[in-house]
Amino acid sequence: MSEYDIIIVGSGAAGLTAAIALADHCRVLVLAKGELTGGSTAWAQGGIAAVLDAGDTFENHIEDTMVAGAGLNRRETVEFVVENAPHAIERLIEMGVPFNKEAEALHLTREGGHSHRRIVHVDDATGWAVQAALLKTAEAHPNITLLPGQACIDLITGRHEERYSGSGRVWGVYALDEKSGKVHAHVGRATILASGGAGRVYQFSTAPRGATGDGIAMAWRAGARVSNMEMMQFHPTCLYNLEVKNFLITEAVRGEGGILKHPVTGHRYMPDYDERAELAPRDIVARANDDQIKRFGLDYVHLDISHKDPDFVAGHFPNIYEKLLTLGIDMTKQPIPVVPAQHYTCGGILIDLDGRTDLPGLYAAGECTESGLHGANRLASNSLLECFVFGEAAAKHIIRCWDRLEPPPAIRPWDASRVTDSDEEVVIKQNWTEIRRFMWNYVGIVRTTKRLERAQHRIQMMTGEVEDYYGHFRVTTDLIELRNLLQCAELIVRSALHRKESRGLHYTLDYPGLLPKAVDTVLVP
């Protein structure tokens, strides 16, 4: 058992922000599955939204966020995040993030749903620069211990105390050391889940391999409520390539003038769907692309920015430009074939403005949460921002309440006495593939009740098999992830069946209209 003051699950933007904000006050352990740079943060392209232009206002950013979120957002959260955005950017600059500049001022790009230019960025690889700066700062702090290669399995609660208690008080996590195969208990006075989204529940996703909703599933199993899990965001423009399956083409390409076209006729179709054309919010553009592909039996649509000055295009999107060249596509001369793909998990663990969950001692921040910021659809580049604001909010609350956070009691070690090594790994692979396929086909961009029920039926059948497997065999990262993917699939489908309207990202042919009142889908364990 290892004991620190605070345990953080996740080394992305949310986890590291919290760790850095806490480290002058207490000893922090940051756990990550695989590598420290394995989360979505390092993959972010477009940038971070903040009101920094003289012609822009907080009210504009708040309004754009609420419009994209189809009114399901909690206004006080939106105000809280938007008003804290300039401070978050300042902190990142202090940590050395080299945001692009133009004539000494920060260069602001534009993305769908934003009425103003307000996205700060580092070329088209913002996430990598942010991840590197946060890691450098965390590594330099003597109070922060970074421990990669730890796949957390479950939260430690009162039920795991040596003197059993039925309390939902959270004391840390059981984690599989991916190298040794041993499971350790990591305990502290408070735990922060910053474990990212559940994108890999879908067959096609821009998210990294580890986005399997582990934190959401762990919190749910421990008794925390989750909210709006049906709100899965699909990005309109993921590269269509038979070898490279999840390479994102940033929305900033459309922000800087890229247009969407039918690949055969060359027709620019977005104005037929929305007056904002390519700069409509993401749900609308993703549905339009999906509609074109299905209606005309296409494999992909075209995203074209070749009408712009080649130096501008290559200079603005150097990483995408280089990557596409290796695949034989010159974006300065020809259109890019693109398809929609799952991109962001808007729902998650319900938190308040201090990052508190329902469970005493458990906080959460970032993509694994539902803070009220995104509502029914996340506005582009608001998610990294949410990580910085809530990572810091959780840390501040912990510091404020420090005297009331008692040290952890004795915890029972992980019991592996009744499990053996698996002789049927094929079960894991089969179930992984099956979940991701039926979620894509039945719980995708356009839904129906019948398709959702088909998915629910499959989930019910698989749950017994996966739980039986989990109960008999030694845990591996793949098994931990499979169990969590299935749990998240169940939460998504249950939430989707619950919503009897089409709002934001949840679009169903059976209930195409909007109900008069926006109501969160809150699931109670």
Site track 148-167 with ligand FAD (rule: CB under 6 A), x = hit: --xxx---------------
Q: Cβ of residue 144: shortest distance to ligand FAD, in angstroms?
A: 14
Q: Cβ of residue 471: shortest distance to ligand FAD, in angstroms?
A: 19
Of the candidates 254, 282, 356, 483, the residue annotated as catalytic is: 282
Tokens of 182: 């041993």
Residue 44 or 395: which CB sits closer to ligand FAD? 44
Q: Which of residues 25-54 bind ligand FAD (CB under 6 A)?
A: 31-34, 38-41, 43-48
Residue 44 or 466: which CB sits closer to ligand SIN? 44
Residue type, 235: H
- H helices within 204-302, ranges in order? 214-222, 252-255, 270-273, 282-295
Q: Which of residues 427-486 bind ligand FAD (CB under 6 A)?
A: none
Residue 95 or 151: which CB sits closer to ligand FAD? 151
3-state secondary structure of 2: strand
Plot region of 372 (φ>0 → left; ψ -120 to 50 → alpha; else → beta):
left
Which residue minimizes CB distance to ligand SIN?
Answer: 46
Distance (Å, whole) CA 5 – CA 187: 8
Determine whether 282 is an active site residue. Answer: yes
Q: Which has the closest alpha carbon to 500: 426, 436, 424, 447?
A: 447
- Cα 54 to chain centroid distance, Å, stands at 31
- H helices within 333-415, ranges in order? 383-400
3-state secondary structure of 227: strand
In the list 337, 348, 366, 372, the residue contacting ligand FAD (rule: CB under 6 A) is: 366
Q: Cβ of residue 518: shortest distance to ligand FAD, in angstroms?
A: 23
Q: Cβ of residue 215: shortest distance to ligand FAD, in angstroms?
A: 6
Asked whether the beta carbons of 406 and 190 are under 8 A apart, the reply is no
Measured at the CA of 390, the angle between CA 281 and CA 50, to 5 degrees, comes to 45
What do you get for the CA distance between the two ends of the chain, in Å?
Answer: 28
Site track 232-251 with ligand FAD (rule: CB under 6 A), x = hit: ----------------x---
- Contact partner, 31, from ligand FAD, ligand SIN, none, Cβ < 5-8 Å per class: ligand FAD
The site for ligand SIN (CB under 6 A) is made up of 45-46, 250-252, 344, 380-381, 383
In the list 9, 70, 135, 393, the residue contacting ligand FAD (rule: CB under 6 A) is: 9
- Contact partner, 207, from ligand SIN, ligand FAD, none, Cβ < 5-8 Å per class: ligand FAD
Tokens of 160: 């795991």
DSSP 407: P
In the list 168, 188, 196, 347, the residue contacting ligand FAD (rule: CB under 6 A) is: 196
Asked whether the beta carbons of 137 and 28 are under 8 A apart, the reply is no
Q: Which of residues 310-339 bind ligand FAD (CB under 6 A)?
A: none
Between helix 13-22 and helix 383-400 the angle, nearest 10°, is 30
Residue 316 or 356: which CB sits closer to ligand SIN? 316
Interaction between residue 127 and ligand FAD (CB under 6 A) = yes
Interaction between residue 384 and ligand FAD (CB under 6 A) = yes
Furthest C-alpha separation in the chain: 71
Distance (Å, whole) CA 313 – CA 306: 8
Residues annotated as part of the active site: 282
Instruction: By CB under 6 A, name the binding residues for ligand FAD.
Output: 9-15, 31-34, 38-41, 43-48, 126-127, 150-152, 194-196, 206-207, 210, 214, 248, 344, 366-367, 381-384, 387
